[in-house]
Chains A and B, each alone.
Chain A
Amino acid sequence: MLTETLDLLLGLPFWVAVLRIATPLILGTLGVLLCERAGVLNLGIEGIMVAGAFAGWLAVYQGSGLWTGVAAAALTGALFGLLHGWLTVTLALSQHVSGLGITLLATSLASYAYRVSFPKVESPPTVQPFSDMSAWLPLPVLNQQTPLTLLALLLVPTLAYMLYRTPLGLAVRMVGENPDAAEGQGLSVPALRIGAVMAGSALMGVAGAFLTLAAFNAFYFNMVNGRGWVCVALVVFASWRPGKALVGALLFGFFDALQLRLQQAGSGLFGVDVSYQFYLMLPYVMAIVALVVVARRAAYPQALMKPWRKGER
């Protein structure tokens, strides 16, 4: 058992799987992180990922290029982000309520549009997905991935640089920490918040598109399956820092890949026969454990979930 596990952890295919599982989580977590840094909780992620997965896949199915599909997913995400931003920032509605409403709306619209477009298909129509980068990238593990994984990895330092080294990033963090001070500096709090939510939601859309255009090649109704919620947890685990978000997503990928291998090995744990469902639980349990561990030092953006109205103190 122990040697088997060691062999597994040393093998390249395992780490390829870890990175592949982590990719949509990296994209989604960065998206949630950007929204929350500006002070807006976005529980719409689960639905926005579904809508992004569908829109990206549909664009490619109708003959567009793969990157056009990714752009369609990002645009779809941004539109739902605009709605969420309008509801929570302009109208100052409860961010929990609006987010869950967006998830329901985006999920049901995507499912409805899929059924209208393909009323009677037994097996879902497929597209030619992204191929891996082994042809031109001389890096092990990474060259087994699609370009979307590279994009996700590059976005981590980009977002970190944007947040911590540019005036725009400072402004975004400021409206999430102290919107009154931001307004005192002549910044438009609503514009910055809505902009951040739209950009973050676009990333969530791309996270969904990864599922239909890279991980699989078709759209399935339950394909997001809680990944969006996991991203919301990972942001807390990451203390709202892009670098730690990457670590969190990789850790989740690690436990998910591990449980898959343990399931396949089927040898049970320490001689005890364990049903496969308990392996599947492992990543979710680890996510909760991680939340509890970091809870004491979680540094929430101070204005998170607090609506802001001009002239109100």
Chain B
Amino acid sequence: MWLEPRAQIPAWMWLVAPALAIGFTLLVTSVLVAWAGAPVGRAYALLLEGGFGSRFAWTETLTRATPLILTGLAAAVAFRARLYNIGAEGQLYAGALAAVAVGGLHGGAGFGAPGWILFPLMIAAACAAGALLLLGPALLKSRLGVDEVVTTLLLNFIVLLLVSAMLDGPMKDPTGLGWPQSVAIADALQLDKLVPKSRVHSGLLAAVALALALAALLRHTTLGFEIRAVGANARAAEFAGMPVRAVVWKVALLSGALAGLSGALEVAGRAGYVTLDMSPGYGYSGIVIAMLAALNPIGVVVAAVFVAGMLVGADSMSRAVTVPTYIADVIVAVALIAVLVATMWTRWRVHWGRG
């Protein structure tokens, strides 16, 4: 089996390739659902209904999608420049911790500073924490050639332990009844709800706005052009006189800040404090979302809503039929691989047999 680049992509392929990817994903996951002993059709109906079928389902899905959009954008912009930031999980927690450090100062009273001063400070602190956390690996990569995949991955574990230490110690909520949770941020700093009696908060608007801004940045600005050039071919970019190292660290600051912001918005939009399980792997899911979206910021929003819908839908489905919630992760993983293969197939002609 070998591949030959297609001179041009036939129009029908744009319809057939995604359809095949979806079909393949449904086929594989149907087998797994049937194995769990549940009626396949009903399980899918429940999954879709739970994720997208009602007002409540949509609010839950969009609540989940908010941090996923931001971590997805963090991965997308970094991967565009071939900076493999696998550390969004740690950057999210660093951002959340920084947000509480500012927003929960002096027992949540913030030294009595007004909200309009504290809120920007809190957001800035979270972005800075995420950005600085990624700046280290980015500098190690560009100065010493240390592989950023490994350093960012290992930093996730270090940050999570740091969070755990902070929740046990300096930032512990004294009224927390044994559950490790941080002090809460001041009430004035909490985000407004978008829909009454739901959990969707205004962080969603910020996430979507940032996706649009990032799309514009990549398409219309010099930095965006440089990011794309460095990602396409760093040596050629360097030869063309681009400051490749500077581009890499700018991308690192941007990517880390986005991931840090997702942590701050989770704190300010939902519980108001940090817990050790506030992110069920949002940082890692963000990478998958970015890849599903082919690193396109607008696509990230769509992919994040899809993944969030699967997670929320699987939760509600597993309460009705005997299918474990892990089916959501399986669906996303199979979909990712199917989409990657389908994209490949649109760009390359497959020849069976030896070349």
Contacts and interface: CB of A to CB of B under 8 A. Distances in A.
B146 A291 contact: yes
B288 A100 contact: yes
Contacts of A309: 2-3
Nearest to A311: B355
Given A107-B329, A116-B36, A116-B324, A232 B337 contact: no
Interface of B: 1-3, 32, 35-36, 84, 86, 140, 144-147, 149-151, 153-158, 161-162, 164-165, 168-169, 284, 287-288, 291, 322, 324, 326-327, 329-330, 332-334, 336-337, 340-341, 344, 348, 355
Contacts of A284: 154, 157-158, 161
B332 A236 contact: no
Given A107-B329, A278-B161, A295-B146, A101 B324 contact: no
Contact of A310 (B168, B326, B355): B355
A281 B162 contact: yes
Contact of A97 (B146, B291, B322): B291
Interface in A264-293: 275, 277-278, 280-281, 284-285, 287-288, 291-292
The 7 closest A-B pairs by CB, nearest first: A108-B329, A115-B324, A277-B165, A105-B333, A112-B326, A104-B333, A277-B161
Contacts of A101: 288, 291, 333, 336-337, 340
A277 B164 contact: yes
Interface string A206-220: 000000000000000
Contact of A91 (B86, B326, B336, B344): B344
B330 A275 contact: no
Interface of A: 43, 83, 87, 90-93, 96-98, 100-101, 104-105, 107-109, 111-112, 115-116, 119, 226, 229-230, 232-233, 236, 275, 277-278, 280-281, 284-285, 287-288, 291-292, 295-296, 298, 309-311
A98 B340 contact: yes
B288 A105 contact: no
Nearest to A229: B153
A25 B147 CA distance: 19
Contacts of B341: 87, 91, 93
Nearest to A115: B324
B37 to A, nearest CB: 8
Contact of B145 (A92, A97, A295, A311): A295
A115 B323 CA distance: 9
Contacts of A98: 337, 340
Nearest to B29: A112
A292 B84 CA distance: 17
Contacts of B322: 119
Given A104-B332, A281-B158, A111 B326 contact: yes
Contact of A292 (B35, B144, B327): B144
Nearest to A116: B36
Given A229-B154, A295-B146, A108 B326 contact: yes
Contacts of A109: 330, 333
Given A226-B156, A291-B146, 18 more contacts: A87-B340, A90-B1, A90-B2, A98-B337, A100-B287, A101-B337, A104-B284, A104-B288, A108-B330, A109-B333, A226-B154, A233-B150, A275-B168, A277-B165, A280-B161, A281-B161, A295-B140, A311-B355
Nearest to A225: B157
16 contacts: A87-B341, A91-B344, A93-B344, A104-B329, A111-B324, A111-B329, A112-B327, A116-B36, A226-B157, A233-B150, A233-B154, A275-B169, A285-B158, A288-B151, A291-B150, A295-B144
A43 B147 CA distance: 13
A19 to B, nearest CB: 22
Nearest to B37: A116
Contact of B337 (A87, A288, A298): A87
Contacts of B146: 291-292, 295
Contact of A275 (B1, B3, B150, B165): B165
Q: Count chain A CB atoms within 10 A of each CB in B150, B153, B336 and give the residue with the most.
A: B150
B101 to A, nearest CB: 17
Nearest to B168: A275
Contact of A105 (B140, B144, B334): B334
A298 to B, nearest CB: 7
A119 B38 CA distance: 13
A92 B84 CA distance: 18
A98 B340 CA distance: 9
A291 B148 CA distance: 10
A198 B161 CA distance: 34
Given A100-B86, A104-B329, A112-B326, A278 B154 contact: no
A226 B153 contact: yes
